[in-house]
Structures are given as C-alpha cells and as structure tokens.
Structure 1
C-alpha cells in the first residue's frame, strides 16, 4: 500500500493523475477546470524532470545548513550509519547483498569520520528487501573491509525513525548521549527529527548538499537524473510532514 501511494504521489504519477482528472473534467464539460488541470499536470510532469526544478525541491527538503555547520564543530561519542537500500550481489557471490550507491556515499563518509575521530560505529537497517541478512550487516561488512571496526549492528530498523530509536537504545546502554549521524543533506532533517524523545542528541554530518542553480536553458531541459532527484526530494518532504504529525 505504501509503495502504491508513493507511486501516485511522486512524479510522474501525480502529474499523470492530474492529467487524467483534467481529461475527465473536459469530458464533463468543465472547460475552465480542464484547462487549469491540464496546465498544472504539464508543470508537474515537466518541472521535476529538469535540473532546476529538482534543485528547488532539494533545497526545500534539505533546509538550511546552519545545523550541519554547527555539527561539524561538535563532539560526539559514536557514529551512526543508517541504511539507504541495497542490491543483490551477482550469482555465486559469498555475500547476499551490497550497498546501494546512496548507502555507499554514507559508508565512505562514515569510514573517513571514524578514521579521523576513532569513535565507534553503529550500523542500522533491517532486511526489508529480503536479501537474507540485515542491512546493518551488509554495511558493517563493507566497513570492516575498509579497516573500520563496527561496535554495534542494529538489524531490525524498518524506517528512519527506527534507525534513530533502536540505535539510540544501544548507545544509551553504552553511556553515549551524543552521536554523529551520517546521511545525505536531503535526508538529514527527517533523521535528526527522528531522535526526538530518545535521550540521544544527533550531531549532523551531512553529505551531498545540492546547491541552488539558475534556470538556464540547459537546466530547463528534461533529464532522467533530475526526475530521480525530484522523487527523492518529494519523498523526503512527505516524510518530514508525516513524521512531524506523528512524532512531534
């Protein structure tokens, strides 16, 4: 059900739904509503598919960088690496899964931070995709191969909120009340908010912040990569709204 709702809400599903509504309005004789719906549908289909539109949505999802800049100067007792999806390994591999491209970005920044600070690492993520091992184990194995020991492997989290809550429980048992959290800038607001009420303070270590860009002709051309970034941004904005209603 969640995937169905996302497919309908995120582009291009939302634009196609609005286009269908416009056609139904036209058939019913509501010409003014049909014209407005058609224009809105075309904008929903077009703007998120441009680099300019994707950058604007990412700006909204990321929020201001003030907390990240403050976090860069703060100290913490551990490092949290939350999962970001996986892919199955080729047939014959001794391991069932490998990190996604997004997870790899988080993993490499975590390894760098662990080398710089010497702080222990907690990986978090369950086996949501049914690949045979929790995502926490997949991430931990990759870190160990990079020479980074992993102290905690939280393998039951099913979403961002559980990444925070379950990891915080492990950290509190170890007497740690502040943790660096490593994730993309567009995911950071939701991850930070997920620590509300856990007794552990998240210190943001954001990666991949998307800058604002001008609406130049090149940035207004449709692009498949831009559409994917728009979908990520809209997913995060919807998640932020939902988490704000449910956990605040």
Structure 2
C-alpha cells in the first residue's frame, strides 16, 4: 500500500470509529433496534457520550492526558543542532491568499513558536508537512509564511510526509547524521506521540510545545455542552488512538 492509500484508509477508519462518526453509528444501530433492550441501551450510551465529550470539563481532562509539558525556561538550547517544525494542516479555500491555499490556525501557532525559537537560538530550521489531500505541500506554505511574514530563514523543506511517522523518517534523511539533536515544535497535544516517532528515527529530541488547549474556570458553564469542547475531546481521543496506531506499526 502506497503512502496516499494508507493515509486515505487511516482517515476513513478514523471518521467511522472516532467521534462523531462512532456516536452516529451507535445511535443509528440503537434506533434501528429500538424494540430490543440493547438497542435502547446503545441509543442511551451514544447520547451520554455525546454529552460527556461536549462538556468543557471532560474536554479539558482528556487534553491533560496527552499534552506535553512546556519547554523549561532554563532548557540547554545551545546543545540543539536544528529546529524541526511539524505542520498541522492547511486551508484549501483561502480566497484571500494569492495561491488559494494557506496553513490553518494550528500550523500558524506552531510557526510563530518556531520563529521565536529560531531567533532566540540561531539554529537552522526544518519545516515538515506533505500534501496527502492534494494541492500545495504544507512545508512549502510554511516556508513562505516564515520567510515572508516572520522574516525567519528555512534551511530544509520536507514536503513528502503524510503523517507523523513520515515526518520523522523523512526529516532524518535530510538532517542526520550531522543534525541529530533537534528541538521539535508542534502542538502540545501532538508532541508525546511525535517524540516517539522521532526518537525511533534516530533523533535526540527536546520538546517545544505550543498551542495548549484553553483551560476555563471551573463553574457551571464547564458542564454545559459546547461544539468547541466536542472538538477538543475529539482531538485528544484522536491523539490517543494515533499513539496506539503508531505502536501497532512498530
């Protein structure tokens, strides 16, 4: 199976077995078999899960299970050989952009953090991200923004990857053996899994997380369902299943 087909298969399974797809499936089966006790139980279970995953308090707890701790202020960054910034997605309908595509908000947050760290350390920077859904590779868009909007140079572009494992192996082909100790920049929820992938590819990794999920005050609003909380819960669950997928492939 080639990389594009593997990515499509993984995304299809994720859509079916991750929220909201799995909840829709459970509810559909429950309503279809409503006359049977297990049908009513499935419908009730899907409704309960929908509420729980839509509540900010549950979303916040799930994110605490996957987010990496922040980079310490006294981290020995002089020992770093290079900075690697991972892409987090892009927008196809970027009608306000000359090329019609641009990075999404998550990737932009990663780029901002990588730009600050590059100015702070002076270390060379690699951007990593392919185009599994077609169009312009994320890494190309990332380089454009870093150079044009942040005035930060990009030394390497890894534009062939479809997932985190590809990010690691293809970055290793560009950086190793000279640049083995890297400062890895990504969203906080993504870095625990990314670290395993990059260490398996032969890197020594220092994590530089950014874009932490918002933690709201604990009050009655934290128990009310919200679409934004459901998205946060889905992201955390996707990361947990992604970790299992990575371990299965090893």
Tell me the distance in 2 between the aligned counterparts of 1:191 and 1:71: 22
Give unmatched runs, 5+ long, in structure 1. Answer: none
Alpha carbons 2:86, 2:128 under 8 Å: kept: yes
Are residue 45 (structure 1) and residue 47 (structure 2) matched?
no
2:75 equivalent among 65, 73, 76: 73
Given the alignment of the two structures, is residue 235 of structure 1 paired with residue 243 of structure 2, yes or no? no
Matched, 1:56 2:64: no
SS in 2 for 1:26: coil
CA–CA distance in structure 2, aligned partners of residues 26 and 89 of structure 1? 42
Q: 1:105 aligned to 2:109?
A: yes
The 1:69/1:106 distance shift into structure 2, 3 A limit, reads closer
1:52–1:214 CA contact under 8 A, matched in 2:
no
- Counterpart of 1:204 in structure 2 is 207
Q: SS of the residue aligned with 1:232? A: helix
Equivalent of 1:189 in 192, 196, 207: 192
Q: 1:211 to 1:83 in 2, by over 3 A?
A: closer
Q: Do 2:59 and 2:229's aligned partners in 1 also have CA atoms closer than 8 Å?
A: yes
Look up the SS of the partner of 1:227 in the other structure: helix
- Extract unaligned runs of 5+ from structure 2: 1-8
Could you say if the C-alpha distance between residues 39 and 72 of structure 1 is closer, same or farther in structure 2, counting changes exceeding 3 Å? farther
1:78-131 superposed Cα distances (whole Å, 9 cap, x missing partner): 111111111136458533421100000000000000000000100111122322
Aligned to 1:86: 90
Shift of 1:42: 1.3
Given the superposition, is the C-alpha separation of residues 38 and 214 from structure 1 closer, same or farther in structure 2, using an over 3 Å criterion? farther
1:228 and 1:115, CA in 2 relative to 1: closer, same or farther beyond 3 A? same
Aligned counterpart, 2:22: 14
Root-mean-square deviation over aligned CA pairs: 2.2
> What CA distance in whole angstroms lies between the structure 2 residues aligned with 1:186 and 1:71?
20
**Residues 127-186 of structure 1: CA deviation (Å, up to 9, x unaligned):** 22322x32111101110011100000011111111111111221115x111100111111
User: What does 1:113-128 correspond to in 2, within 5 Å?
Assistant: 113-128=117-132
TM-score, normalised to structure 2, is 0.86
User: CA deviation digits over 1:163-216, x for unaligned, max 9?
Assistant: 11111221115x111100111111011110111332211210011334766763
CA distance in 1, matches of 2:156, 2:86: 12
